[in-house]
Amino acid sequence: MEKCIFLDKDGTIIYDVPYNITLAKIRLYEDVLIPLQYLAELNFKFIIITNQSGIAHGYFDQKDLHLAMDHLARLLMQHGIYISGYYYCPHSDQPELNTCNCRKPSPGLILQAAEEQGIDLGRSWMIGDILADVGAGNAAGCNTILLDRNGQERLLPKVQEKKFRPDHIASNFYEAINTIIANETHYEHTDKNNTRPI
């Protein structure tokens, strides 16, 4: 069984441009590459887990999304980061129209990926920028990190459901990856400034 980093896409590894499938607008956050390169050296797989309700709304189709996702995978590959797969929910974000089990915070996509790719969920992590990502990871049995790029932490005192509470909170990808390293039994966490993974 392999260990994996499940990654949300928009707002986590690329800048969040709503319903974007325009290749020129797909931009990686500056803090993504070095931490992911380090985790690749530690034999983590990378899989993207994303809600894409733009398909249900008719803003773009699945072919457009595949082109955008392939472009993102190529951007990362240029830096030695291989995406083992991407799994997406194409269904509506309106609760009354959505009965699927794949839209985060449901764990369906993570569970599907784990079954198809032989992943040990207990040694894997879900990293995302909103509480729905945390909910999906917790429900699937992953460790969870809220990458708080947009102030989601302020919502936590109001959250009653335990499933939406992350195991860890990080303000940037370096902090997130150092958290993972600290939890890997064969590696020590010594960088107190959280400026680079060690």
State which H helix or E strand residue 71 sits in: helix 62-77
Can you tell me the distance from the alpha carbon of 39 to that of 141, in angstroms, rounded to the nearest whole number? 20
Can you tell me the distance from the alpha carbon of 134 to that of 125, in angstroms, rounded to the nearest whole number? 10
CA distances from 68 to 24, 50, 114, 126, 186 (A): 10, 13, 23, 22, 36
Instruction: Out of 10, 31, 129, 148, pick the active-site residue.
Output: 10
Query: Beta strands of the chain (E only): which ranges?
Result: 4-7, 45-51, 83-89, 125-128, 143-147, 168-170
Token pair of 163 as six digits: 């499933």
Residue 137, phi-psi category: left (phi > 0), alpha (psi -120 to 50), beta (remainder): alpha
The verdict on whether 10 is a catalytic residue reads yes
- Fill in the DSSP letter of residue 153: G
Instruction: Out of 8, 31, 129, 133, pick the active-site residue.
Output: 8
With CA atoms as reference, report the closest residue to 12 among 36, 35, 29, 34. 29
The verdict on whether 8 is a catalytic residue reads yes
β 45-51/125-128 pair status:
unpaired
Active site residues per annotation: 8, 10
